Structure 1
Amino acid sequence: MPHCIIEYSADVESQTSAKTLIGQVQAGALASNLFEPEHIKLRTCCFDHSRIGTSAKGFIHVTARVLSGRTLEQRQHLSNCLLKTLQNMSLQELSLTVEIIEMERESYNKCIV
């Protein structure tokens, strides 16, 4: 844990790559000191068409799905660490957002085949 899903508008690719985004978000998750490196799962999803209000501004939105049981302070810390790593990328004209979602531990299942 966590599952980090990085959604971004296609115009972000003129400033950075999906591979770089994965590396930065992984660094942010590690900086939180809440997870072991081998437990961090990351993936990206690029959107060809998007709009924020009436603006053509691009976006990066990170959703970190964590198992329930973390304190509010831990979740806030993770959110802050993830946002800080995105801010440190010196990207321009983008909306950067982070959302932490708790997954119910009792109903989460995992199987490696």
Structure 2
Amino acid sequence: MPHCIIEHSSSLKGEELLSPVFQGVLGSALFTADGSDIKVRALPYSVYQTGNTGADFVHVTVRILAGRTEVEKQKLSAAVLAAIDSLKLANCSVTIEIVDIDRQSYSKSVS
């Protein structure tokens, strides 16, 4: 179920960020063991400002259905952060955000 949106500076290759984020979410053990419900996509930004420097950035928003505990959300955030940190990106700010999706208003269709 999780929808993982990776926003990143365009100097980084989004393709190289997809697998670590996927593996981090999978490694959290909060979702199906085969990972079939994990969706990951990347959005590069060529226009951005990171403080007073031109540092690269990666921001991952993981959207999950409401109902997880704060401990589970912290575990998920830490797992994704560790997976990205394993890439050893130089001069790069990495942030992770876990966002609840309202169950009552969420709709889904699979064809």
- TM-score band, normalised by shorter chain: over 0.9
**Paired residue for 2:26?**
30
How many Å apart are 1:10 and its aligned residue? Answer: 1.0
In 1, the alpha carbon distance for the partners of 2:21 and 2:107 equals: 24
In 1, the alpha carbon distance for the partners of 2:56 and 2:3 equals: 23
How many Å apart are 1:98 and its aligned residue? Answer: 0.2
How many Å apart are 1:39 and its aligned residue? Answer: 0.4
1:46-74 deviations in Å (ceiling 9; x for gaps):
00111111111010000000000100100
TM-score (structure 1 length as normaliser) = 0.93
**Paired residue for 1:3?**
3
TM-score (structure 2 length as normaliser) = 0.95
Which residue identity does 2:17 align to in structure 1? L
In 1, the alpha carbon distance for the partners of 2:63 and 2:99 equals: 5
**Paired residue for 1:55?**
53
Please identify which structure carries the higher helix content: 1
1:3-49 deviations in Å (ceiling 9; x for gaps):
0000000122xxxx322211110000011000120000110100011
Which residue identity does 1:9 align to in structure 2? S
Which residue identity does 2:44 align to in structure 1? C
Aligned-residue Cα RMSD (Å) equals 0.8
Query: Any idea what SS the aligned residue of 2:53 has?
Result: coil
Q: Could you list the runs of 4 or more consecutive aligned residues of structure 1 that deviate by over 4 angstroms after TM superposition? A: none
Aligned residue among 85, 92, 95 for 2:93: 95
Structure 1 regions of 5+ residues with no counterpart? none
